[in-house]
Structure formats: structure tokens, C-alpha cells
Amino acid sequence: MRGPGQADCAVAIGRPLGEVVTLRVLESSLNCSAGDMLLLWGRLTWRKMCRKLLDMTFSSKTNTLVVRQRCGRPGGGVLLRYGSQLAPETFYRECDMQLFGPWGEIVSPSLSPATSNAGGCRLFINVAPHARIAIHALATNMGAGTEGANASYILIRDTHSLRTTAFHGQQVLYWESESSQAEMEFSEGFLKAQASLRGQYWTLQSWVPEMQDPQSWKGKEGT
């Protein structure tokens, strides 16, 4: 993350569910006193750092990680090596799915031995760091259950802001994220009702930088 155009940049790293992302800092010329810093952000992770970066290693909590750098000096920055390894503990269900890329098709999971007792299934969508996500889909055969264990619904959540929208009943739905990561949850009642959702997602231009101005990172050290 050095050279022309790399002073304030971000990169997204994604791996299959069940893995975590690993990082090692090979070189760093960040000037901490000038406000330079490195931010690591993902599900269950928010870490800001600058000092003593050389040879530092880091493992994400989940299968995705966004790395953002702020460097005021042209030609400065960090050199990172990334990899992946099996997650020491899992945050996922067997029926969960992951989608990457600027667009794609969305198909809800169907009832199977893997989903019958999963308590619902989730679909994670990740796009480029400074993009947003639009989802357009048709939900059918949703059933009548609205409460309790048999409630049939779809939740769509913005992973960054945690803004969540619930959808009940047969409908054509449209939703936009505020950030580059979204999560769809299909309830156990949705699966048992043999409901279905088919649609697409695509990227939109971001109206606000996903991780805000670096000055607002102050006071957010840690994970």
C-alpha cells in the first residue's frame, strides 16, 4: 500500500466461510505523529494501529477483512503479506453462504437436513470497500407465521451500521446498504414454510466513506 495514489486507500480481503484472514507487516513508514495510521475492520473486528508495526501479525475473527491506510507522505505506507487459515472457532452455520464481487444472483437456501435444525440460515455479501450494495428480489410462499419459532421472515442487515430491515409476506423487496458488507438472514420458519427468494445484488457508489474520516478513528483502539 505504497506509491502514487496509495496515501489514503483501502483493500478488502475475503476467504471462504470457516477460514480467517492473517496479516503480517513486512515494512512500514507511517508517521504516527503526523496522524498516519492503519485500520483493520471486519465482522467482530475494529482495530487502529500505527506504532511498532514491523513484523506485527494479526488474525481476523471471521473470513473477511478490510484494511485501510492513511498516510500523509507521498511514497510512504505499509507493505503487508496476507494469507488464511482454518478458523479456530466457527461463527457460522452449515447452511450459511458467502457471495463476493460487484454483482451476483441471490437464491435462498431450501429445507434440508443441514437447515432443518439450524435456527435459520444467513447469506453474507461483500463488495469493494468504497461501494454500497443494492438488493432486488422476489420473496414467495412466505407463509402466515409472524411470531414465535414458526415466524417466517427475512432480515437484511448492514454489517457496518447494524441497520436491520425485516420483510414479511410475499413481496418484491428492494434494499440498499450504507457500507460494503451486508447480511441476509432467512428464519427457520421461512425454511419450514418452503418459502423462496430469488433476486440479484449489485454495487452502488458510496455517498459517505465507509470508515469515515481518519480523524474520527481516535479513541477506537482495540478489537
Residues 16-44: pLDDT tens digits? 999 999 999 999 988 888 889 999 988 88
| CB within 8 Å of 133: residues ≥ 6 apart | 125, 127, 176, 177, 180, 181, 182, 201, 202, 203, 204
User: For residue 74, what pLDDT band results from cuts at 50, 70 and 90?
Assistant: confident
Instruction: Return the pLDDT at 98.
Output: 96
What is the pTM for the complete model shown?
0.84
pLDDT at res. 217: 43
Q: Quick count: other Cβ atoms within 10 Å of Cβ 213? A: 10
Structural domains of the chain, with CATH:
7-86 (2.60.120.290), 97-205 (2.60.120.290)
What is the structure's pLDDT at 96? 93
